[in-house]
Amino acid sequence: LEQIVGSSLWVQIETPFGGFWVNDRFLAAVVAPFDFENDPRVASLLAEFGEIIATDGDLREVVSRRGLYVSHNAAPIRFPYDELETILTDPTTYKWPSNAADLDEVPGRTFAEAVTDSFLSTYDDPDTMTTVNEPLAGGNGRMPDYAIPFEFESFNYIGVFDPIDNPDFGGLDWTTWYVSIDYEDGAPVIVGLTVDMWAP
């Protein structure tokens, strides 16, 4: 059973403890890792995402209706679905956390500056590697077991890893983006982005 309450979709679920109503925003499709890995639409989704952010397009075409969650060296921040149409050109700045400085010292950056520019440079690099449901650790990054925030643990994901941008730093200049993917109406959509990086 489903019911619209305000602007939210609520779904009745059955659990060992009985039936409950849950906001659809907190439900994820169950897709076996094998099926996810062999779904050609996932690679197409990633390519379309790259094209959209390269042309300042509308992220709603590839993102979950629940919005986009971004974990930028901290707990995920939710960007509502309705804001994603123009987020790539929005001049609003945010204080994105950094492992190297206190939040007060971090200059404000737009969504495009903090997220899409970094993702594109990683995704389009000739030596970029991708993995499916496998965390990638850089030379001094967090342990793989902690690469994916617990809020995204229910989702399959693609890892996009650019190992070395500057060899002068002995492999300690790298970026990994994890793209968490849900399925809505049977099709893959992006629900979360997580960055792990070290840059001089």
10-residue mean pLDDT series, the chain (200 residues): 82 88 81 95 96 96 93 86 95 77 74 90 88 78 73 91 67 81 94 82
- Kindly list the distances between the CA atom of residue 40 and the CA atoms of 44, 46, 53, 198, in Å, as whole numbers in the listed order: 7, 10, 21, 31
Q: Of 152, 153, 140, 130, nearest to 71 (Cα)?
A: 152
What is the SS3 assignment for 50? helix
What is the SS3 assignment for 44? helix
What is the SS3 assignment for 52? helix
Q: How far apart are CA 157 and CA 93, in angstroms?
A: 27
Residue 37: other Cβ atoms inside 10 A: 14
pLDDT at 83: 94
pLDDT at 179: 96
pLDDT at 160: 92
Residue 126: other Cβ atoms inside 10 A: 5
Predicted TM-score (pTM) of this structure: 0.84
pLDDT at 181: 96
pLDDT at 189: 97
What is the SS3 assignment for 123? helix
Residue 4 sits at φ, ψ, to 5 deg, of -90, 125
Q: 73: alpha, beta or left, given left = phi > 0 and alpha = psi -120 to 50?
A: left
Helix and strand element counts for the chain (H, E): 4, 9
